């Protein structure tokens, strides 16, 4: 089983601020490039992400925290307005499709109100091979989505999704096996 240990961080530190600025500059450049500049877009993503497979496609208005914690396999596709909060590692397998307006969030915060805005935690997320995540889904910290699975549009994934499964709803629940 993958590491699901919480990673704690303090917001506003100089080191974290510099890492965010680096990522945000690359994201800003990526989002401002003309749509037909495929090679330049791929070059930016390879500089931003930790690892990148072959045949990558990410639509306009992509956002992330750090970038280097994101690892994607071959034939990765992300639709418009994809946000990956990668304060912890996000591993996405090969042949994965992510619909528009999807949020993948490793980050969380204390439920205690005192100093909630000064620190946080993150738990790694793993998405297997051949996974399809429909539009407007939310994937919460620490989730594993098994190979070949489908997360139906609009779902909020609060628990792991077994391989070869369709889930839907808020919270996402088992619909059927594939």
Of the candidates 24, 60, 63, 109, the residue annotated as catalytic is 109
Angle between helices 38-48 and 14-32 (to 10 degrees): 170
Query: How many angstroms separate the CA atoms of 107 and 116, rounded?
Result: 13
Query: How many angstroms separate the CA atoms of 98 and 104, rounded?
Result: 10
End-to-end Cα distance, the chain? 23
Whether 71 sits among the annotated catalytic residues: the reply is no
Q: Decide: residue 21, CB within 10 A, 0-12 exposed, 13-18 middle, 19+ buried.
A: exposed
Mark 45-83 as b/e (b = at least 16 C-beta within 10 Å).
Answer: beebbeebbeebebeeebbbbbbbbbbbbebbbbbebbb
Q: In the structure, how many helices (H) and strands (E) does the chain have? A: 2, 20
Give me the active site residues, please: 109
């Amino acid at each position: 089983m993958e590491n699901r240990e919480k990673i704690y961080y303090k917001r506003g530190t100089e080191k974290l601020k510099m890492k965010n600025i680096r990522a945000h500059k690359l994201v800003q450049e990526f989002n401002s490039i003309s749509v037909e500049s495929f090679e330049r877009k791929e070059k930016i993503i390879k500089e931003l992400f930790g690892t990148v497979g072959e045949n990558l496609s990410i639509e306009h208005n992509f956002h992330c925290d750090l970038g280097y914690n994101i690892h994607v396999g071959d034939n990765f596709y992300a639709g418009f307005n994809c946000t990956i909060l990668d304060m912890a590692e996000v591993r996405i397998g090969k042949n994965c499709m992510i619909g528009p307006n999807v949020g993948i969030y490793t980050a969380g915060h204390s439920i205690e109100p005192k100093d909630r805005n000064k620190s946080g935690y993150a738990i790694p997320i793993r998405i297997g091979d051949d996974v399809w995540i429909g539009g407007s889904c939310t994937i919460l910290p620490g989730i594993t989505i098994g190979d070949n699975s489908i997360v139906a549009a609009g779902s909020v994934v609060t628990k792991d999704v077994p391989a070869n499964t369709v889930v839907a709803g808020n919270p996402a629940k088992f619909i059927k096996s594939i």
